[in-house]
Amino acid sequence: MVKSHLALELLPGLAYLSAMQIVHVHVHVKPESAEAFKTATRLNARLSLLERGVMRFDVLQQADDPARFVLVEVYRDANASARHKETPHYAAWRDAVAPMMAEPRFGVKFNQIVPLRLSAESRRIHF
């Protein structure tokens, strides 16, 4: 813990900087399209994870409304996010799910504030 405090004291302005871009895409599909949406989105997520700048791609289904989803996309930087939208698999996904939408999907972009990692072995927080 002392080591972490020392690092924060030495580099207070740099301790929480991150170029990563996190996007939460909110999706509401027609109830009868939920399974087809999951199938198409699983493939898109798998292929997205093969992209160099994609750090994480989670697909979440709302527990109390199975027609609502959130895609949690973590990119190395904003350029990786833009490149993702130029891939053939993204275009195929976008076109395949468009008729499934109950309302237009929308994304919210986030900047990471605290890039903490928890070591499984030590259960200590690493900066």
Q: Which two structure tokens, joined as six digits, stand for 41?
A: 């989105």
Enter the pTM of the model: 0.77
- Pick the closest to residue 43 from 103, 96, 89 (CA basis): 89
pLDDT at residue 3 is higher than 50: yes
Strands 54-61 and 68-75: antiparallel
Strands (E), 1-127: 21-29, 54-61, 68-75, 101-111, 117-118, 125-126
Domains of the chain by start residue, with CATH: 18-126 (3.30.70.100)
Per-residue model confidence as pLDDT tens digits over 37-86: 999 999 999 999 999 999 999 999 999 999 999 999 999 999 999 999 99
Q: What is the DSSP letter of 79?
A: H
106 close to 25: Cβ distance less than 8 angstroms: yes
